[in-house]
Amino acid sequence: MSNPTLSEADIESLAEVVDTAALQTAPIPMLTAATPALDLDTAYDVQRASIERRLTRGEELVGMKMGLTSRAKMEQMGVHNPIYGHLTSSMLLDDGDAISHSEHCHPRVEPEIAFILGEDLQGPTTAAHAMMHVSGICSALEVIDSRYENFKFTLIDVVADNASSSHFVLGNTVRSVEDLDISNLGMVMQVNGKPVQVGSSAAIYEHPARSLAALANMVAERGEYLPAGFIVLAGGATAAVALQPGDNVTLKAEGLGTCSLTVKD
Ligand code: 0L1
Ligand code: MG
């Protein structure tokens, strides 16, 4: 903890605020409005403390996600670097599962590529070296759900809010690194049978492997590593799309089959 003006107790209390907002689907004002001393590093402390609260409730840590990996999203937020969040067992859906719209603040969905790590990955690393630790690659849909009122937040707020993580689905087709060139896979996300976003895996931090390496390097700065078995969501390949009750979302990713989710009331 490096912030001289925020104590461990302050961090715990901010973690309780974001955690409760997600649990109760009760949007909150951005944390930085009342706590301007909150900085990026401390926001990651708040994120980690909010994840500890989930683990205490019996959830398990299953992986991590990268966010703001596309040029479009970085420009939108006025930033130059991606962010990360944590994934827990309660966020993981089976292919075709439903999420409940009323249990989300403003849910949106985006098409992603996911990695499954076969070995511990410790930064510093490079894209090529990181990929040597990957045992499987699949498609994924990520539901993001910022807990902030009126969708107003800064980068620091998003990090504290676990990079808006909510739910994710992995496709059932799992390919090996040797088997599939993931540098430029076509990705089409359909809602109710209509294509709503068309993109390429190249939009994920220019290459999903770069995103994986960047994650390992970012967590290494905090003395952490990515353990074998972790799922890593590399980031959105297109803009996110707002979800409505009744929506049926399918991602078709070249070489990686399909994955889908539905939205109930
Ligand atoms: O997955 C992501 O790219 C994180 C996005 C965070 C900001 C948002 O909720 O739009
Ligand atoms: Mg995402």
pLDDT (tens digit per residue) in 129-164: 999 999 999 999 999 999 999 999 999 999 999 999
Ligand 1 site, residue 171, Cβ cutoff 6 A: no
Q: What is the pLDDT of residue 16?
A: 98
Q: What is the pLDDT of residue 180?
A: 97
d(CA 70, CA 161): 19
- Closest ligand, as measured to the CA of 113: 2
Q: What is the pLDDT of residue 243?
A: 98
Pocket test for ligand 1, best of 164, 166, 204 (most atoms within 8 A of CB): 164
Contact 247, 100 (CB under 8 A): no
Q: Locate tokens 């107790």: which residue?
A: 9
d(CA 130, CA 175): 16
> Which residue has the least CA distance to atom 4 on ligand 1?
67
d(CA 223, CA 123): 9
Show the low-confidence residues of the chain (pLDDT under 70). Answer: 1-2
pLDDT (tens digit per residue) in 198-221: 999 999 999 999 999 999 999 999
Q: What is the pLDDT of residue 78?
A: 87
Ligand 1 site, residue 85, Cβ cutoff 6 A: no
Q: Which atom of ligand 1 is nearest to the CA of 69?
A: 3
Ligand 1 site, residue 107, Cβ cutoff 6 A: no
Number of C-beta neighbours around residue 49 at 10 A:
19
d(CA 91, CA 238): 21
- In the DSSP assignment, the letter for residue 117 is E
Beta-bridge partner residues of 236? 112
> Which residue has the least CA distance to atom 2 on ligand 1?
67
Ligand 1 site, residue 138, Cβ cutoff 6 A: no
Pocket test for ligand 1, best of 142, 158, 168 (most atoms within 8 A of CB): 158
Ligand 1 site, residue 154, Cβ cutoff 6 A: no
Ligand 1 site, residue 73, Cβ cutoff 6 A: yes
- In the DSSP assignment, the letter for residue 202 is G
Q: What is the pLDDT of residue 199?
A: 96
Number of C-beta neighbours around residue 97 at 10 A:
12
Q: Which atom of ligand 1 is nearest to the CA of 68?
A: 3
Ligand 1 site, residue 163, Cβ cutoff 6 A: yes
Ligand 1 site, residue 160, Cβ cutoff 6 A: no
